[in-house]
Amino acid sequence: MDESDAPVKTPSEILAEKVVGVLAERELVLADDIQQMSLDLAIGKLRAEDWRVAIEKAIDKGASGE
């Protein structure tokens, strides 16, 4: 797809990508999760339990030293 034909990103989508990028960089969430997380974050569907699971997964991975 030509770049100019790509759907225009909403401000929420642009911001969500920035946010999850920083979260992954600071190892607060797993890099594997950020794609879906970004989509949900942008449309307001990242619920409390989703946040918790994402953060706990990163904690668990850190604890297991992977």
Partner 1 sequence: MSNVPLKYLKIEHLRGSITPFTLTFEKGKKLSVIYGENGTGKSTICDAFDFLGTGNVGSLKDKGLGGRLSRYWHSMGKSPSDIYVKLETSGGSCCTATLYKAAVVVDPPDDRPKVEVLRRNQILGLVEATPAERYKAIRKFIDVSGVEASEAALRQLIREIEGNIEVAVARVQENRETIEHFWEQAGKPGQTALEWAATEIEKDQSALDNTRTAIESLKASFNRLSHYPEQYKSQLGACSSADAALETAQSRVDELNAQAAGEYLEILEILQAAQRYFARHPSPEVCPLCESRENVVGLPDEVSHRIALQDFASQLKAAKLSLNAKQQILEGQNQRLEELNKKALADAEAFALKSSNKSLPSGIELPSLPCPTDLADWDEWLVTSSQLIEKWSQISDDCVESKKFTAALKASLDTLHENSQIQHELDDLLPRLKQTLDVVVDERRKFTDSILHDIATEVGRLYEEVHPGEGLNKISLELDPAKRASLEIATEFQGQEGTSPQAYFSDSHLDTLGLCVFLALAQKEKMDETILVLDDVLGSVDEPHVERLIEMLYSEALKFRQCIITTHYKPWKQKLRWGWLKNGQCQFIELDKWTSVDGISLVRSIPEIERLRALLDEVPPDPQLVCAKAGVILEAALDFLTQLYECHVPRRVNALYTLGDLLQAVDKKLKAALRVEHKQKHLDGTVSYIEKQLAPHLDELSRIAQARNVFGCHFNALSFDLLDSDAIAFGAEVLVLMDCLIDHEAGWPRNDKSGSYWATAGETRRLHPLKKPS
Examine residue 28 and tell whether it contacts partner 1 (CB under 8 A).
yes
Examine residue 7 and tell whether it contacts partner 1 (CB under 8 A).
no
User: Smallest distance from the beta carbon of 5 to partner 1, in angstroms?
Assistant: 10
Task: Characterise 27 by phi-psi region: left (phi > 0), alpha (psi -120 to 50), beta (else).
Answer: left
Examine residue 19 and tell whether it contacts partner 1 (CB under 8 A).
yes
Examine residue 22 and tell whether it contacts partner 1 (CB under 8 A).
yes
Please count the other Cβ atoms lying within 10 Å of the Cβ belonging to residue 54.
20
Largest CA distance in the chain: 44
Q: Where does residue 51 rank: exposed (0-12), middle (13-18), buried (19+ CB within 10 A)?
A: middle
Examine residue 43 and tell whether it contacts partner 1 (CB under 8 A).
yes
The residues that touch partner 1, with contacts defined as CB under 8 A, are 8, 10-16, 18-19, 22-23, 26, 28-29, 40-52, 55-56, 58-59
